[in-house]
């Protein structure tokens, strides 16, 4: 489908957000399998990237449609320029907040950053009438439910895994049990990555579909078309982002919150994957970060309550609380700026935003590689 120059730039920024989502949330996919030393970090990100990519062949696009038209009412957008400004401002808010939290190694939600960006830009543009209350309510409810569900299923899966582990131990086959759970963790990591790709890549699909709809002048209909090229572009971007990794967040999730063994890594990933499969099938855009963090905490508490570093966990929770209002504030400010600058300048700023992310990544890559060595198997 042909599209305008401005639409192309915004799609580029959307794919850049997907890329950032990949390396920001890559930690979620590989933290446990790396911290338990089942895989070398570079092999782990390649493993996660592959399963992130093929998720489009397993799940539908229900989440994409909710993000594209179920958070803000795009049919109320009056002009093409207004629509582009709203979407671009939302993406700037989400990307900026993602980069800030990535820098500090905090495992926050890219999904909620995007939702906050959309809400902030839409509020400035058209007030509360622009918001779709049902979609926002669904997201708000699962901000609470997703980590709790991950926690509960994590506790259950860890107890089941320990039961079978003890059976092996009683038979004097502890080494066999460890080997089995190390191999099973490859399966659980793949399952979690599959769920991550099904949830997070779809959010960018929804944004791109909305941009193309606005560009074609069909925003009033609100009917999104999630075509195969959109699906492939979104999954490619998130897979490439996953390949670059996010070692600071790996360290936080994989070893700072609680120490994990292969049995715990398997339980955490399996419980998070089950949660993501259910929500992706139901078309509910949840936070993969919240889900895996809740699962890891649940696994940690089965050892003893003090096995979880609650001080750091509290810091992570504060970052979660700030995600939607923080990204919304950045998006609102960005929208105000975009309304007073020429479209060409806004498009150029979009390109510079994408380039700045690349510069930031390569500037920190050498340090990230050194950090990754800490987790490498001996």
pLDDT in tens, 348-360: 666 666 566 555 5
- Look at residue 1 and tell me if it is in a domain: no
Domain count, the chain: 1
pLDDT in tens, 102-145: 777 676 777 888 999 999 999 999 999 999 988 888 888 888 88
- Look at residue 378 and tell me if it is in a domain: no
- Look at residue 279 and tell me if it is in a domain: yes
pLDDT of 260: 62
- Look at residue 126 and tell me if it is in a domain: yes
- Look at residue 316 and tell me if it is in a domain: yes
pLDDT of 90: 93
Average pLDDT, the chain: 77
pLDDT of 373: 42
pLDDT of 111: 81
Is pLDDT of 252 > 80? no
- Look at residue 141 and tell me if it is in a domain: yes
Is pLDDT of 26 > 70? no
- Look at residue 288 and tell me if it is in a domain: yes
3-state secondary structure string across the chain: CCCCHHHHHHHHHHHHHHHHHHHHHHHHHHHHHHHCCCCCHHHHHHHHHHHHHHHHHCCCCHHHHHHHHCCECHHHCCCHHHHHHHHHHHHHHHHHHHHHHHHCCCCCCHHHHHHHHHHHHHHHHHHHHHECHHHHHHHHHHHHHHHHHHHHHHHHHHHHHHHHHHHHHHCCCHHHHHHHHHHHHHHHHHHHHHHHHHHHHHHHHHHHHHHHHHHCCCCCCCCCCCCHHHHHHHHHHHHHHHHHCCHHHHHHHHHHCCCCCHHHHHHHHHHHHHHHHHHHHHCCCCCHHHHHHHHHHHHHHHHCHHHCCHHHHHHHHHHHHHHHHHHHHHHHHHHHHHCCCCHHHHHHHHHHHHHHHHHHHHHHHHHHHHHHHCCCCC
The parent domain of residue 170 ranges over 9-373
């Amino acid at each position: 489908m042909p599209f305008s120059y401005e639409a192309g730039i915004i799609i580029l920024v959307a794919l850049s957000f997907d890329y950032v989502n990949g390396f920001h949330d890559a930690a979620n996919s590989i933290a446990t399998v790396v911290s338990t030393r089942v895989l070398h970090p570079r092999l782990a990100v390649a493993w996660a990237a592959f399963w992130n990519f093929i998720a489009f062949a397993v799940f539908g696009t229900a989440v994409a449609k909710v993000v594209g038209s179920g958070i803000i009412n795009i049919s109320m957008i009056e002009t093409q320029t207004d629509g582009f400004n709203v979407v671009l401002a939302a993406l700037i808010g989400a990307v900026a907040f993602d980069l800030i939290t990535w820098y500090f190694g905090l495992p926050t939600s890219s999904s909620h950053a995007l939702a906050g960006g959309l809400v902030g830009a839409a509020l400035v543009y058209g007030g509360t009438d622009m918001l779709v209350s049902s979609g926002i309510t669904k997201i708000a409810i699962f901000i609470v439910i997703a980590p709790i569900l991950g926690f509960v299923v994590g506790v259950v899966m860890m107890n089941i895994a320990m039961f079978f582990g003890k059976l092996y131990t009683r038979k004097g086959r502890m080494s066999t049990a460890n080997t089995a759970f190390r191999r099973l963790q490859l399966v659980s990591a793949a399952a979690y990555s599959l769920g991550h790709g099904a949830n997070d890549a779809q959010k960018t699909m929804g944004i791109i579909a909305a941009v193309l709809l606005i560009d074609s002048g069909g925003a009033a209909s609100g009917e999104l078309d999630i075509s195969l090229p959109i699906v492939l572009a979104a999954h490619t971007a998130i897979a490439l982002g996953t390949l670059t990794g996010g070692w600071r967040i790996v360290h936080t999730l994989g070893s700072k919150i609680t120490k994990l063994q292969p049995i715990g890594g398997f339980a955490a990933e399996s419980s998070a994957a089950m949660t993501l499969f259910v929500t992706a099938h139901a078309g509910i855009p949840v936070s993969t970060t919240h889900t895996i963090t809740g699962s890891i905490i649940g696994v940690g508490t089965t050892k003893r309550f003090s096995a979880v570093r609650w001080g750091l966990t509290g810091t992570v929770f504060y970052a979660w609380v700030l995600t939607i209002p923080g990204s919304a504030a950045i998006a609102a400010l960005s929208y105000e700026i975009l309304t007073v600058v020429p479209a060409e300048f806004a498009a150029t700023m979009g390109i510079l935003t994408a380039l700045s992310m690349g510069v930031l990544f390569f500037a920190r890559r050498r340090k990230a590689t050194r950090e990754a060595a800490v987790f490498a198997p001996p």
